[in-house]
Amino acid sequence: MKSKEIKKHVLLVEDNMLNQKFALAVLKLKGYTADLAENGKAGVELFEKNEYDVILMDIQMPIMNGVEATKKIREIEKENGWPRIKIIAVTAYAMPGDEERFMQAGIDRYIAKPYKGDDLIALIQD
């Protein structure tokens, strides 16, 4: 009998092609579906149009960075009365104080690059 485990739909906001391929491969391997946005502005636009269970948000991107995009998503949630979506920062930033800065912007969890696929999945499922 097939498992009735709920598969999540993920929004990956990442500008680096290698990081995109890795994250998408990990998600697909674990049975997740994902949409890709190559910058924060595109990520916000996809968030407004589609339903996601979690957002994987790079921090350093062109056009709109991950902190700005997260703040915008939190504003949209408030304006529309939408439930708060889990946003996980997936970033090379790992300096003291970075995690606090991300949390103040509305990011829920944080994983530093490079990361292991299983660690990413554990954060998504947590």
pLDDT for position 106: 96
pLDDT per position as a tens digit, 43-70: 999 999 999 999 999 999 999 999 999 9
CATH number of 9-116: 3.40.50.2300
Q: Which whole number is the average pLDDT over 107-126? A: 93
Q: Mean pLDDT score of the chain, rounded to an integer? A: 91
pLDDT for position 64: 96
SS3 label, residue 9: strand
pLDDT for position 92: 83
DSSP 82: P
For the range 72-78, what are the long-range contacts, defined as Cβ-Cβ under 8 Å and sequence gap of 24 or more?
A: 72/40, 72/44, 73/43, 73/44, 73/47, 73/106, 74/105, 74/106, 76/44, 76/47, 76/48
Cα 89 to Cα 112: distance, rounded to the nearest angstrom: 8
pLDDT per position as a tens digit, 84-113: 999 999 988 767 788 788 889 999 998 988
In this predicted structure, the answer to whether residue 3 has a pLDDT above a threshold of 60 is no
Share of the chain above pLDDT 70, in %: 94
SS3 label, residue 63: coil
Q: Which whole number is the average pLDDT over 15-38? A: 96
Query: Does 110 or 24 have the greater pLDDT score?
Result: 24
91 neighbors 58 (Cβ within 8 angstroms)? yes
Question: Beta-carbon neighbour count of residue 126 at 10 Å?
Answer: 10
